[in-house]
Structure 1
Amino acid sequence: MITVENLTKSFPGDGGPVHALQDVTLDVPAGSITGVVGPAGSGKSTLARLVALQDRPDSGVIRFDGFNTSGLDPRRLRAARRRIGVVQRGGLLEQRTAAGNIALPLEQAGVDGPQRREKVGRLLDLIGLTDKAAHYPEALTPGQQARVAVARALVGDPGLLLADDPTRDLDADGAAGVLTVLDRARAELGATVLVATDDAGVVRRIADDVALLDGGRITEAGHLLSLVQDPRSAVAQSLLPEIDAPKAAKARHDRLAEVVLVGFAAVGALLPEATSRFGTTISVVGGGLTRIGETPVARFLLGLSGTQADTALTWIAERGGQVQQRRTGPQGLVAACA
């Protein structure tokens, strides 16, 4: 749905131009949740403003459904902006209730009362705050206020929902509630969602695709579950459990292998079946289990003993496990195994 091509943006600085984005190219598939992850100052908010058509790049192209937005006249640019819902944290009006804040864009667009009430009611249900409809912002928790902000961004049925740092300063429960709403917006309303964040946990929880932004450049991008299976991937290193095992534990085995397993069947069955099938003792020496969305993903350092240890690892790899094999050498030193 959205394609960013060779996007560059700079701002004046005391020592010359500050390059916020440099030659950024990114695809946001229709109906997906794409996370742009990077530290403070990496260019995430600048990219979000450009994609929301709130600012123009120095060079490069932003396409919506194949249409180049850079050549739009003011009237068509306003129409394109209406297709984008921007989540604005902290922008709720204190004198309006939760329902009133959600309804405000509809009032400004001249939508009649019955239609407004129906739309607002559906969105209150989507964000799980039907019982808070008549509450003013001061009576809502920060997480509830953030969910109202998401609902207000959705009220115009946008094709793209853009959220810049939507969980900032929220506690765990508040952040989880916001991410659940973003996921429901994609699943139930068909919205394409673009989330900019410095929190890798946000990506782990809801994203289908991810792009790493650092120093104004995309350093890695792709489908999340594919990237976490690539041992060279920075995404895998940041999202998967760390492997920390004592040397003594490593030295007790004939083989050591780092293995990534994705999915319920792989995580639950491959290792026990390999043990039984090849008469090999397989022990988890380090690592752990996490979830990418609803998919379990394991990253283990395995210790294997037995004459068919190599065969067992090959069998695991043939069934989708990502295996990096190592051999324990003399005095417990670990040497690379071809």
Structure 2
Amino acid sequence: MITVENLTKTFPSQGGPVTALAGVTLDVRAGTVCGVVGPSGAGKSTLARCVALLERPDSGSIRVDGTDLVGLDGSRLRAARRQIGVVPQGDSLLRQRTAAGNVALPLESAGMPAPQRRSRVAELLDLVGLTDKAGNYPDQLSGGQRQRVAVARALAANPSVLLADEPTSALDPETTGSVLTVLDRARAELGVTVLVVTHDMAVVRRICDDVAVLEHGRVVEHGRVLDLVSDANSRTAATLLPEVDQSAGVAGNHDRVADVVLVGFAAVGALLPEAASRFDVQLALLGGGLTRLGETPVARFRVGLTGERADSALEWISDTGAVVVRTPKGPQGVAA
């Protein structure tokens, strides 16, 4: 759906050009939510603005549904931009317009007749859960409600791509949840491909199928969230999985100590007890915990195994699909 190849973008400054994007390559699968994360200044917002052609890249290509947007201009560029809805960072609603009026704005600009426009606005306000706020002005809405109206406005023209730049910035956890639910519904019910720029990994944990990590204008990690958390060395795993006390079990009396990552209902619920029973070992949970990535339960535990077949138990757990990193009586772990 979205393919970015070797994208570069620099900005002038008194000290010389500042590189915001340095050869960024990224694929976003159709119908998914992809989170673009990284520290402040990593190039996240610049990437989103380039994908929306609000900024022209210095070089590289941006293809949406196979069309290279960088080479377009005039009417062809305007038509392509209509396929990309943008939820800008911060409060972007017009204060003199009601919630319904803000959602209707792009439809008015497109010349949609009033009856169809009213119907479309009603559909979108229902999607974002604000039907009862249609006549309210922005100052009569909470921050989360204003963001949901902004999402509805961005979806008004039936785009195939939705770009959301820090959509939960400065919102409390409950309000953040309502905004993320709306973005997820846009993907699930409208089939929109969503690119979310965020500094908050909780956004990735809640709604993202894929994630791209940017640092200094470069993609340093990219892939499916559930694949990346299964990689013991990934930054995504280090950030999203429950923490493990690195000293847990190192000085204990267990024959083997290992960190185990389990993905999915069956693995989280049954794999460790089955290993203990199958190989006649005692298995103790020494640390870690459970979390949820989207609808999928994921666990990272440090486990201690005692028994003659402890090695065989760890090998079986690994062969069954879990990630196992052995932790001997020392500072290094070895993947099973």
TM-score (norm: length of structure 2): 0.96
Gapped regions of structure 1 (runs ≥ 5): none
State the distance in 2 between where 1:227 and 1:40 align: 22
Q: 1:95, CA displacement in angstroms?
A: 2.0
Q: Which amino acid in structure 1 is aligned with residue 87 of structure 2?
A: V
What residue in structure 2 maps to residue 108 of structure 1? 109
In structure 2, stretches of 5+ residues that fail to align are: none
- Kindly provide the CA deviation profile for residues 243-294 of structure 1, in whole angstroms up to 9, marking residues without a partner as x: 0165567513111001100000000010111122222111110111111111
Amino acid at match of 2:56: R
Q: CA deviation at 1:111?
A: 1.1
Whether the 8 Å contact between 2:53 and 2:70 is mirrored in structure 1 is no
C-alpha separation in 2, matches of 1:130 and 1:176: 18
Task: Return the letter of the residue paired with 1:55.
Answer: E
Asked if 1:23 corresponds to 2:23, the answer is yes
Write out per-residue CA displacement over residues 73-113 of structure 1, whole angstroms, 9 at most, x where no aligned residue: 31101111111000134111222221111111112222112
8 Å CA contact 1:249–1:285 kept in 2: the answer is no
Q: Provide closer, same or farther for how the CA distance between residues 335 and 210 of structure 1 changes in structure 2, counting only shifts above 3 A.
A: closer
1:39 paired to 2:30: no
**1:229 pairs with 2:230:** yes
From the superposition, tell whether residues 22 and 248 of structure 1 become closer, same or farther in structure 2 (CA, over 3 Å). Answer: closer
- Secondary structure (helix, strand or coil) at the match of 1:105 reads helix
User: Counterpart of 1:159 in structure 2: which amino acid?
Assistant: S
Distance 1:211 1:200 in 2: 11
SS of the residue corresponding to residue 260 of structure 1 reads: strand
Distance of 1:193 and 1:74 partners within structure 2: 25
Partner of 1:156: 157
Counterpart residue type for residue 14 of structure 1: Q
Contact 1:92-1:101 within 8 A present in 2 as well: yes
Partner AA of 1:44 in structure 2: K
1:98-143 Cα deviation digits (max 9, x unpaired): 1111111112222112211211111111111111112211121101
Q: CA distance change for structure 1 residues 59 and 245 in 2, over 3 Å: closer, same or farther?
A: closer
Counterpart position of 1:54: 54
Contact 1:98 1:134 in 2 (8 A): yes
Alignment of 1:263-274 (within 5 A): 263-274=264-275
- Assess if the C-alpha contact under 8 Å between 1:250 and 1:285 holds in 2: no
User: What amino acid is the match of 2:100?
Assistant: A
Deviations 1:187-207 (A, max 9, x none): 000000000111111111111
- Cα distance change of structure 1 residues 272 and 302 upon mapping to structure 2, 3 Å threshold: same
Aligned to 1:130: 131
User: Post-superposition shift, 1:308?
Assistant: 1.2
Q: How does 1:185-334 map to 2 (within 5 A)?
A: 185-244=186-245, 246-247=247-248, 250-328=251-329, 333=330
Q: How many residues align?
A: 334
Aligned to 2:82: 82
Do the aligned partners of 2:250 and 2:327 also contact (CA within 8 Å) in 1?
A: no
Structure 1, 271-280 or 183-192: larger mean CA deviation: 271-280
Q: TM-score, normalised by structure 1?
A: 0.95
CA distance in 2, matches of 1:281, 1:334: 24
* Counterpart residue identity of residue 11, structure 1: F
User: Over the residues paired in the alignment, what is the CA RMSD in angstroms?
Assistant: 1.5
In the TM superposition, what whole-angstrom CA distance separates every residue of 1:189-228 from its partner, at most 9, and x where no partner exists?
Answer: 0000000111111111111111100000100101110010
Identity %: 63
Counterpart-to-counterpart distance in 2, 1:81 and 1:257: 50
Indicate how the Cα distance of structure 1 residues 107 and 261 shifts in structure 2: closer, same or farther if over 3 A, else same.
same
Q: Given residue 130 of structure 1, which amino acid in structure 2 is its aligned partner? A: T
Alignment partner of 1:251: what SS? coil
8 Å Cα contact 2:250/2:328 also seen in 1: no
